[in-house]
């Protein structure tokens, strides 16, 4: 799935993208059978079909927030100005799914962002993307525990 760069920048600047909050425990997020994240990925799949720019905000505890966002580059939605600086606005880009781990002790920038796959993969192989997310979350919590 492709999106015009100008469209994504406009939605981010105007905050017209879809966003939904979830409260999920660390244990549920790390379940190997992915049952802890099914609701999140069902939401993302349905939301992407309606509107391309979407996010799920997962509050784990007071110290950890995880965001799953569709975007054209690995920058969180908080930085639309930086996005403008590094892309060609008159071009179409592949829309991808990114996971953002926000925690003070995850690293020096307090943020880790990685690509989970394309939006097309989310639509066609939701189970694969959700499994990759579960593995990614487990790895991030391991890093967080090491940095305490």
- Range of weakest confidence among 31-40, 89-98, 128-137: 31-40
pTM: 0.94
Kindly indicate the confidence band of residue 124, based on its pLDDT and cuts at 50, 70 and 90: very high
CA separation for the pair 92, 70 (Å, rounded): 14
| pLDDT exceeds 80 at position 25 | yes
CA separation for the pair 59, 75 (Å, rounded): 19
Phi then psi for residue 58, to 5 deg, are -110, 115
| pLDDT exceeds 90 at position 66 | yes
| pLDDT exceeds 90 at position 147 | no
Domain extent for 35: 2-146
**CB contact at 8 A, 132 and 121:** no
| pLDDT exceeds 80 at position 148 | no
Mean of all residue pLDDT scores within the chain: 93
Say how many domains are in the chain: 1
Neighbouring-strand partners of residue 114 = 99
DSSP per residue, 115-140: EEEEHHHHHH-HHHHHHHHHHHHHHH
Kindly indicate the confidence band of residue 145, based on its pLDDT and cuts at 50, 70 and 90: confident
**CB contact at 8 A, 25 and 92:** no
**CB contact at 8 A, 125 and 54:** no
| pLDDT exceeds 80 at position 34 | yes
A 10 A CB-CB count for 19 gives 14
Phi then psi for residue 27, to 5 deg, are -60, -45
* b/e burial code for range 57-94 (CB count within 10 A of at least 16 → b): bbebeeebbbbbbbbbbebbbeebeebeeebeeeeeee
Tens of pLDDT, residues 111-122: 999 999 999 999
pLDDT value of position 59: 97
């Amino acid at each position: 799935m492709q999106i015009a760069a100008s469209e994504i920048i406009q939605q981010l600047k105007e905050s017209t993208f879809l966003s939904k909050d979830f409260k999920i425990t660390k244990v549920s997020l790390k379940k190997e059978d992915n049952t802890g994240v099914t609701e999140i990925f069902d939401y993302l799949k349905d939301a992407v079909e309606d509107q391309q720019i979407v996010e799920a905000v997962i509050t784990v505890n007071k110290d950890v927030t995880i965001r799953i966002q569709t975007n054209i580059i690995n920058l969180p939605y908080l930085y639309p100005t930086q996005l403008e600086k590094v892309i060609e606005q008159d071009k179409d880009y592949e829309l991808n799914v990114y996971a953002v781990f926000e925690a003070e002790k995850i690293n020096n920038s307090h943020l880790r962002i990685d690509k989970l796959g394309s939006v097309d993969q989310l639509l066609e192989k939701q189970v694969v993307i959700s499994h990759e997310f579960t593995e990614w979350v487990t790895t991030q919590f391991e890093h967080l525990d090491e940095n305490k």
